[in-house]
Amino acid sequence: MKVFCEVLEELYKKVLLGATLENDSHDYIFYLNPAVSDQDCSTATSLEWANTCRIQGRHQPISVGVAPIAVAPVCLKTNSQMSGSREVMLLQLTVIKVMTTRILSVKTEFHAKEQYRDVIKILLESAKVDSKLICMFQNSDKLLSHMAAQCLALLLYFQLREKITLSNSWIAFCQKNLSECSESNKAIYCLWTLTAIIKEIFKDSCSQKTEILKQFLTHFDTIFEVFYNSLFSQHFENCRDTSKIVNILMCFLELLELLIASRIHLKLHFTCQRILFLKPSCMLEVITWPIQAFVKRKVIIFLKKCLLCKVGEDLCRGSVPALMPPDHHVAVDMLALANAVLQAVNSGLLKTLSVYEKHSFFGGDEVQPGCEHITSPDHVILRAASLVIMKSLEIKFQNCSSASEMKVDLQRFMSELLTFLKPHLQPSLQLHNPCKWLSRVFIEQDDDMLEAAKASLGIYLTLTRGCEATESLTQGKEMWDHHTHENGYNPHCIFLFFLKNIGFDSTVLLDFLISSETCFLEYFVRYLKLLQKDWDNFFTICNNFDATESKYDVSICGCVPSLVQDPSTNQTIPHRLTAPHSHRDVCARHSWASDAPSEPLKAVMSKGAHTMCASSLSSPRASQSLVDYDSSDDSDVESTDQCLANSKQTSLHQQATKEIQDAAGTSRDKKEFSLEPPSRPLVLKEFDTAFSFDCEVAPNDVVSEVGIFYRIVKCFQELQDAICRLQKKNLFPYNPTALLKLLKYIEVISNKTMNTL
């Protein structure tokens, strides 16, 4: 017994370091073969373990070297603590797990890897260790059963990598326990092990991922479909042990996400990978079950990932091209899922979502007697449900040719969504532009906010094209504009609220453009193209924002600049811009601007009234970037945009970060700013007014500020300058030529607008 433990400990140290083995591979099988009773498939007692050792003793090597190895300290129990078979078996499983990991690692020395490979093959072929590990699933010792599942997953993946026939005992075990949804732990271990195997396939750096996964799924394609039908066809309230059903459901959701991810990224089309899209109503019905709120949250987030094609993104990132050719089969399945979601929403799905959650503390979520019970809306649920509906509408409209049908659907589902959100957004949306819902719901999650904004823009563009093809938008322009605002999807309002959230800070936009963490590049390019065609509408909406905020005494940026008079001219910076005669006044026709009857803007200021300081319009930049600069491959959006290029090294991103922050810091240190930018003056030359931007010293009674239109123009100008500066230094991670062309064109038309004031 003592010698057995010493050899096992020494073997563990060697394998941990990836060292070569002195003895023949067969000599180590005696020490690594777990002692499991064949009668009841449970772990043997100490006496049974000793008997097993005597039986195996005929194969025991005469001598196995146990010379000490100079290794780092490892946490191993002493011999006196390893008297039980449980401790010995845990160490055996640990050695098998580490040895298999070493085989799969590219860092292991070739000779050592070959020795480890021989040992594992012998364990699988002669000792039938896979069957013993399956038996250990039923052990009441949770640690032992979990270690057995981990080992088995690695061994099965080893068989796939080595093109060894997959364990028949494991296939039979899965087919038996997944053929119907039972409340036993066996189904959970089947799902967990299958998930672990697919994760290993994704993590592996080998080039045969698709072939390996195809070989694996061939055995389980039919059984997955059977299990899916069985799991979602049962009545949850009639289950005896609902906790086990919840565990099975959570495990299956993780497995299903990986199956869908493997379909998207590895281009396979097994039925088990499509089962969600073939029968989406089964998954949606889970939200209506009388089940815990966290399960419903998991389901709605899972649906969001599916519609955004972000399933398995943590595992696939870095190893999969950002742009993949369109897959017609995936597009058809996405449409089926989107239609099912909208049908469920139309049937009252949102009413079944548990929006309020308990506050969790270190001691749990139970409120002690005498303490106030505080609840607040679960913003994760609000964001996920909103994005699922928006994305479903976008996908459906991309495949719809009837403009009237799209209008009806949009009004119905956006009304349903806004009604769902209204009780959870304080103050109420009634006092604000309905388009503000998006920025308020997604304020804490920039990636989801930009996905929702992009989906909203896609809906607007699709609906606009449909209306242009069937009717004249110019004849019903006012009704069309009212429709976009009333249903909360006007692209200009959404973009303006987004800029307000970031304080009109061009460096934040630059962060988003450089990072691949969000879809901002794609959204921004599409919006700038729309802005070129819809400039007049954009300008009037800016003025409408100004009029509304002036009426309610609301600051645009949250900090109010103080007015400073120019001692030479004794002129004061005007309150805000107003629309020139060529632009229509939208205040009179948009009731969303205020509660009181709206009035048209009364005055058109003269040229001299629009004196303002250029650089004072930028809000202070945070000391750190919002996101890490990562690969910009995800920014590849449209084939017509030359923004699509390979990303550079991370060092370039770091240099770009320093360049941006240095520029931001320099502009903050300036006390006064020239009114005329050297390259592109955007304001009239005959005025030169200083502007203090210190929010802390602004008088309380001062509410005047520069109009939102000029802030946006100035933000675009600063962004264009920053991109040009980084491009000249070869620090921008992709070719921004097309983006700069769009910004340059916006500069030209904005200058024309400024000259008419």
Three-state SS letters, 577-621 = CCCCCCCCCCCCCCHHHCCCCCCCCCCCCCHHHHCCCCHHHCCCC
> How many C-alpha atoms does 437 have within 13 Å on its Cβ side?
29
**pTM > 0.85: yes or no:** no
Among 100-114, 266-280, 679-693, the range scoring the smallest mean pLDDT is: 679-693
Among 144-153, 331-340, 351-360, 709-718, the range scoring the smallest mean pLDDT is: 351-360
Sign for the pseudo-dihedral over CA of 98, 103, 105, 110: positive
DSSP string, 208-249: -HHHHHHHHHTTTHHHHHHHHHHHHHS-GGG-S-HHHHHHHH
Residue 749's pLDDT is what?
93
Quick one: tokens of 285? Answer: 């019905």
Contact 259, 197 (CB under 8 A): no
Residue 207's pLDDT is what?
78
Q: Mention every residue, 6+ apart, whose C-beta is less than 8 A from residue 193.
A: 149, 152, 153, 156
Residue 726's pLDDT is what?
95
- pLDDT, tens digit, for every residue of 211-233? 999 999 999 999 999 999 988 88
Q: How far is CA 286 from the centre of its chain?
A: 22
The pLDDT mean for the chain works out to: 74
Residue 73's pLDDT is what?
42
Quick one: tokens of 128? Answer: 């039938």
Crossing angle (nearest 10°) for helices 242-266 and 293-307: 10
Looking up tokens 């089926």 gives 336
Contact 311, 257 (CB under 8 A): yes
Residue 182's pLDDT is what?
65
- pLDDT interval class at 183 (50, 70, 90): low
Q: Torsion angle of alpha carbons 420, 426, 427, 430, nearest 10°?
A: 0
Sign for the pseudo-dihedral over CA of 248, 253, 258, 259: positive
Q: How far apart are CA 311 and CA 701, in angstroms?
A: 52
Mean pLDDT of 638-651: 39
- pLDDT, tens digit, for every residue of 9-57? 999 999 999 999 988 888 889 899 888 765 445 444 333 444 444 434 4
Mean pLDDT of 106-114: 92
How many C-beta atoms surround the C-beta of residue 59 within 10 A?
A: 12
Assess whether pLDDT exceeds 60 at residue 318: no
- pLDDT, tens digit, for every residue of 377-427? 888 999 999 999 999 999 999 998 888 899 999 999 999 999 999 888 876
Maximal CA-CA distance, the chain: 107
Contact 178, 223 (CB under 8 A): yes
Q: How far apart are CA 360 and CA 354, in angstroms?
A: 16
